[in-house]
Structure 1
Amino acid sequence: MLTKHRNLRTGRSVWQGERPPRFPKQGITADTESDVVIIGAGISGAMQADMLSEAGFSVLVVDRRGPVRGSTPASTALLQYEIDQPLIKLTRQIGDEAAIRAWRRSRLAVDGLGARVRALSIAPVIRRDSLYLAGDVLDAEGLGREYEARRRAGLETALLDAAALKEDFGIDRDAALLGYDNLEADPVVLATGFLRAAVARGARIAWPVEIVDLDAGPRSVSLRTKDGHRIRCRYLVFATGYELPFGEIPKGHRVLSTWALATVPQKGNLWPRCCFIWEASDPYLYLRTTRDGRVICGGEDEDFVDEDRRDALLGRKVKALQRKLGKLLPEVSTEVDYSWTGTFGASTTGLPTIGPMPGLKNCWTVMGFGGNGITYSRVGAEIVRAGLTGKGDPDAELYAFRS
C-alpha cells in the first residue's frame, strides 16, 4: 500500500447537490505503460493531467475510488492568493526575499488558474475580493504592519478601519485588509473540466485501481496494481491529497479535521460585493457565497485525524459555525442546507510540499497543505511540468522537501 487510506469526508457538500461527473469505469486489465502516471484523480491530479498532456506526455491517471471522489468535493474552494501565514510572520520564518516570492507566486497562480479555466471554457471565471478581519493572530495594529508589507511586495491591498468596515460591509471589527481579484469556483466542475481536457488529448483515466508497490529506477518507474498488473512509466506523480505517500508527513506539516456548511439560497441577504471573508485568527472562520446565493461557512478546525471522532462532532460543529456566522453577519440566514466534515492539511509556514521525492528517482509529489489547496495545485502543476520538461522552475526550492 503506497498511500495511507483515510475516510476523507463525511456528510454532503454543496458541490454534490448536482449530478456527479461521469467517467467510464475502466480498470487496468493488462500490463501497460505511459510517459507519466498520476496517482489521484482529484483537483491536483486533474491539473497535472491537463498540463502534462498539453506538454506532449502520454498520461495515465489512476485512482482507487474514481475521478473526483476524494477530498475535492469537500473543498470550500476559496481560491485566494493570500497565504494562511501572514506575510510579516512568514518573513520571520523563511526570510524577506523568500516570503515575498511565495506570496507573489500565489498571486500568479490564481491569475494563471483563472486564465486556464477561461482558455479551456470550463466555467465562467468569477472574481471576488477578499476581506481579512482583525483577530487573535493579527489585531488592528498587526493588520497595519501586514498592509505595509503587502504593499511593499507589490500586492494591491486596502486597509479599512472600524468605521469604514462597518459602513462598507456592515461588519463590527477593529480593522480589515481588502485584497482583490481572487476566484470563486465549484471545485468539482474545475477538476472535471481539467480531466476532460486531458482525455481529449489522449490521456487515460483508470479506476478503480490501487497501486500497491513501486520500483523507482534511474530511467523509469515500475508499478504494481492490487490485481497484479504492471505499469511502467518514465515519471510518477503522487497527487493523493491527504492520503500521503507511504503515510509519511513531511516536516512542518500536520493533518487536521475541519467542518463546513452551506445555507439555503438567500441572494437578498448577502453582504456587499459577496467578497470572501476570513479572519486573522487561529482557527479562523471563513465565508464565501455561491452563484445561487448560498453562504458557505467553514472552520472550527481541530488538530486530530480520528475519522469517527471527527464525524461525531459534525452536529455540534455546524451549530458553532451557525452561531459565529449569525454574530458576524446578523442579516444572513443561518439555515443549513448542506453540512460536511473532512480531513485537511496545514503547515507551519502555510506553504505546501511540492517536488521530487527524496530517495525515489523519477517520483514527484504535490502535497497541497495550507489553506490554499487549489491555488497550490496550480503551483504544483507548473513546477512538475517545468521539472519533467527539463526547464526548471525559479521558485521550486520554496516548496521542496525539507529534511
Structure 2
Amino acid sequence: MKELHTEAAYWCTFDTGITQWPQLTSSCSTKALVVGGGMSGLLTAYMLHERNIDFILVEAKEISEGSSLASTGLLQYCSDMMLHELRKHIGKQKADLFYVSCFNAVNQIGNIAKRIEAETGDVQLHTRSSLQLCSEPIDALKLEKEYEALSSLQLPCELWDQQRIARHFPFSKRSALITHQDAEINPHLFVIRLAQFLSKYNQAIFERSKMTGFDKLADGSYQVTINNEHRIHAEYIIHAVGYHYEQLQQPQLNFFINRSYVLVTDPIDDLSFWHERMLIWETARPYLYMRTTKDSRIVIGGLDERSSILNEKDALQKSKQLLLELNKLFPATETGIAYYWNAYFHEPKDGLPYVGSDQDDPKRIYLLGYGGNGMVYSMLGANLIAQIISGAMEQPELASILSVTRT
C-alpha cells in the first residue's frame, strides 16, 4: 500500500490513551464489513452502531494512521465549488440539497463529538466561523453572488467589506464571506475516540487485518479473505479506503490526483490578533487554508499541485513558502516551523464525493469522501450507507447526487 503522506506527526502528539486494536485471528461472520479504519470507516461504523446493524471493521495498517493524520481538521459547510456555481452544474434543487446536507453534517459531527467525548476524551472540537477572503478584486462579485445564494437557503453568513475586515484583522482585502457554525477538530484524535467509543460497546474492530480478496457466493453474500488466511462472511462490503483508490478497480470514477503541503508553527504566546480564531481560506484556486490549534499554533496548508507522487524532497521548501504566505497576512507574527508534511488528496471533476453501490454488484458499497471537505463528505456518506444497509433510504435525492454511477 502506498504512503499517503510524509511525516504528518503533529496530531498524534496529543495523548490518546489506548490506541491498539487486535488483529483478526479467526474466521467470523457479520452483516456489514467495513474496510478502512480512517474517518470514513469509523463514521460509517458509528452510524451502523446507532442503527443496531451488525458490523466488523478491518484496517490494513493501524486505526487513524492514514489521511486522518494529514488532514488539517477544518469542518466547513461550503465546498470548493461555490453554491451559485454548483447550481449551474447540477441544477438549483440538487445544489441546494447538497449544501444544506453539508451544513447539517457539520452539526452532526459536532453532536457525535460531544457524545463520544463524554465517554472517551477530548477531540478538540470548537465551533468557528470561516473567513473566505477575496483573493483578487475580480472575485468580489463572486463573493456577492455566493452570499446571496447562501442567504436564500438561510445558511448563516455575512458579507464583510474592506473596512470591516481591517477593523478585525491586520490585513486588508476588498471583501470577505463569513460563514458561521463551521468548526475545527483534531481529526486523528476524533477517529481514535470513535474507535474507543465503539470498543466500549464491544464492536469488532481489527487492525493489521488487510482484505486480500473476496468471493461472491451463490446467495449474493461474500466470503472475504483477511491477510490471506482468515475468512469473514458478510452480506455487504463497505469500501471506505480513502486515497487507497488502487484497491477498488473502479476506472469510471472521474477525479484528479493532487498533493498538498501543510505546516504547523511553533506555539505562539498571544493569538489575540486572530479575530475569534476564524478558519481562513480564499477565493483563489488552488487556495491557502489556515486555522489555530488548542496549543496556540497555526496550521496552514495549500500550494496544491496536480501529481500522483509525494514531493518529500521539497516539502521543507514548500513549508517555508507557506510561512511567507502566513506572514503576508499577519506580518507581526514571529514563529517557526515545528511540523510539515506533503499529502495526497483526490479532487472529483464535479466537486462532489462518491457514495453508493457498485453498479454491477449492489451490496458492494463505496464511501469516497474526495474533495476539499473530506470529513463533512464522510459524514454524508456514513449516513447514506447506514440507510442503504438498514433498508430505509431516507435521502434518495442526495444518494442520486453522490452516486458512484453518476455521469
* TM-score (ref. length: structure 2): 0.93
- 2:28 aligns with one of 24, 32, 43: 32
Q: Which runs of 5+ in 1 are unaligned?
A: none
Q: Which residue of 1 aligns with 2:146?
A: 146
Hey, what does 1:7 align to over in structure 2?
Answer: 3
1:97 paired residue number: 93
Give the CA deviation at 1:225.
Answer: 2.2
- Change in Cα spacing, 1:165 to 1:193, as seen in structure 2 (3 Å) is same
User: Is it true that 1:296 corresponds to 2:299 in the alignment?
Assistant: yes
Q: Which amino acid aligns with 1:351?
A: L
* Whole-Å separation in 2 of the counterparts to 1:371 and 1:216: 34
Q: How far apart are 1:326 and its partner, in Å? A: 0.7
Match of 1:246 among 239, 245, 248: 248
- Name the residue aligned to 2:229: 228
CA RMSD of aligned residues (A): 1.8
Match of 1:60 among 31, 47, 56: 56
The answer for the alignment partner of 1:315 in structure 2 is: 316
Deviation string, structure 1 residues 298-324 (Cα, Å, up to 9, x no partner): 0011100113xx112201211110111
| CA distance in 2: counterparts of 1:138 and 1:392, whole angstroms | 43
Say whether the 8 Å CA contact 2:267–2:335 is kept in structure 1: no
With 52-61 and 132-141 compared, the bigger mean Cα shift is at 132-141
The 3-state SS of whatever aligns with 2:154 is coil
C-alpha deviation, 1:136, in angstroms: 5.3
Residue 376 (structure 1) aligned with residue 372 (structure 2): no
**How much does 1:360 deviate?**
2.0
Give the Cα–Cα distance (whole angstroms) in 2 for the partners of residues 314 and 24 of structure 1: 30
Distance 1:88 1:296, change over 3 A: same
Letter aligned with residue 377 of structure 1: S
Per-residue deviation, residues 145-184 of structure 1 (Å, max 9, x unmatched): 1111111122121111111111122222111000101111
Q: Does 1:200 align with 2:200?
A: yes
Query: Equivalents in 1 of 2:114, 2:24: separation in Å?
Result: 33
Indicate the residue corresponding to 1:340 in structure 2.
341
Q: Structure 2 vs 1, CA of residues 330 and 374 (structure 1 numbering), >3 Å: closer, same or farther? A: same
| 1:75 partnered with 2:78 | no
* Residues 232 and 136 (structure 1), Cα distance of their counterparts in 2 relative to 1, 3 Å cut: farther
1:18 matches 2:32: no
Count of residues in Structure 1 that have an aligned counterpart in Structure 2: 397
Matched to 2:41, the amino acid is G
Structure 2 residues without counterparts, runs of 5 or longer:
none
Normalized against structure 1, the TM-score is what? Answer: 0.94
**Aligned-pair CA distance for 1:79:** 0.8
**For the residues of structure 2 that align with 1:90 and 1:17, how far apart are their CA atoms?**
38
C-alpha spacing 1:119/1:369, structure 2 compared with 1 (3 Å): same
Secondary structure at the counterpart of residue 10 of structure 1: coil
Aligned to 1:211: 211
Q: Show the counterpart of 1:113.
A: 109
Of residues 81-90 and 242-251 in structure 1, the stretch that sits farther from structure 2 once superposed is: 242-251
Q: Is the 8 A contact 1:260 1:298 kept in 2?
A: yes
Q: Which residue of 2 aligns with 1:42?
A: 38
Pairing partner for 1:400 from 379, 398, 403: 403
Change in 2 beyond 3 A, CA 1:33/1:116: same
Post-superposition offset of 1:137 = 10
For 1:185, the equivalent position in structure 2 comes to 185
Question: Secondary structure at 2:294's aligned position in 1?
Answer: coil
- From 276, 281, 289, the equivalent of 1:278 is 281
Of residues 120-129 and 393-402 in structure 1, the stretch that sits farther from structure 2 once superposed is 120-129
- The structural deviation recorded for 1:104 is 0.6
User: What SS does the corresponding residue of 1:312 show, helix, strand or coil?
Assistant: coil
- Alignment-mate amino acid for residue 359 of structure 2: P
Q: Please identify runs of 4+ aligned residues in structure 1 that moved more than 6 A.
A: none
Q: Secondary structure at the match of 2:188?
A: helix
Distance 2:205 2:215 in 1: 22
Residue of 232, 256, 259 corresponding to 2:258: 256
Secondary structure of 1:315's counterpart equals helix
